[in-house]
Amino acid sequence: MEIIIADSYEQMGVQAATIIRQQLLRKPNSVLGLATGSTPIGTYKELIRLHREEGLDFSQATTFNLDEYLGLPPSHEQSYRYFMDEHLFNHVNIPKGKIHVPYGHAESVLEFCEWYENEITHAGGIDIQILGIGGDGHIAFNEPGSSLGSRTRLKTLTEQTIQDNARFFTSMEEVPKFAITMGVGTILEAKKIILIANGAAKAEIMAEAIEGPITSQVTASALQLHRDVVVIVDKEAGAKLKRADYYRWILEQKKKLVPKLIGYAS
């Protein structure tokens, strides 16, 4: 697990986008795993800039999103498909037929989840997966207690997640209580993972996820088992990391060893 402590949210977004850019340059038909939420907006903003100003090409890419609320149509302003259209898909040249977001109105959720897993497999697996982290340490909607071997499925959201999401809806009654989500096991099969987090509110849970024990109560901690994870945090989110100086030292040594090492923005 590689830890990058960026000076700012903006730099964090540039670092994450740089890794994705290098992946697309290396393999134009990459399969990208995407996340929603406020944290990756900066990353998507930089990817859009790279597409518009530097010609970064998404025309051969395939995408799979982590999750979607059950019951929200793609046109709903709080659906994750709507979010992705607004913040990325409408601004780059990803073919519409290669965009995959869980469908919240699936007639049979079980059959849809099986289909989604098969689509990931048929695409060759996810090359690089972007993740955020919830206040209780969940990745995607794998709430505390989720199996670390779980697959795409319907998940009941915890009270904390529902409360966290309430600010996006006009009343508590409108807040979705269920979501379709990739499982922890599905996520861990991605060839490379980028976990991004910003803000002081994420500092304690990031320390638990990175430096604490591996536990289903903090599903992000399962990333410690993955062979290729890059964690990018701003200074606030990294404030409680006990080994922060060591992580910075490692990064400096690698930059000296290989000035253009893949994964680092200049």
Q: Show which residues are catalytic.
A: 67, 136, 138, 143
| Cα–Cα dist 176/164, whole Å | 11
Label the pairing between strands 178-181 and 67-69: antiparallel
Token pair for 2: 């590689």
Largest CA distance in the chain: 55
| Cα–Cα dist 32/238, whole Å | 26
Distance (Å) of CA 189 to CA 35, 193, 227? 16, 9, 10
* CA-closest candidate to residue 50, choices 96, 89, 14, 9: 14
Length of the chain: 266
